[in-house]
Amino acid sequence: MTAKLLVLGASLLWIAFCMRFWYAIDRDHVWQRRFIAIGAGVGGGLIYLLGTMILTVLRPSSPDAGEPAENVRMELRAAPAPGKP
């Protein structure tokens, strides 16, 4: 739960950082402000998406999950010489 809050916090921090620049840009520069706002939304969403994906990969699997491990034995044999059956 704490890790998800950290990912959410990083996403919100990115949005707040971008919005700081949005407020600093003059109102006459409409397209710059729009690009900053789009970057804030897309960037925040990507940070959240990638962060939750990384958390699922890093989460340790429980020992009860899945089937019990089985011992597997393999035997390696040398290939027969050419011309010999």
What residue segments make up the domains of the chain, in order of their start? Answer: 2-58
- Could you report the per-residue pLDDT of 28-50, keeping only the tens digit for each? 999 999 999 999 999 999 999 99
pTM above 0.85, yes or no: no
| 40/68: higher pLDDT | 40
Going by C-alpha positions, the residue among 41, 36, 40, 48 that lies closest to residue 10 is 48
* Tokens standing for residue 72: 């597997």
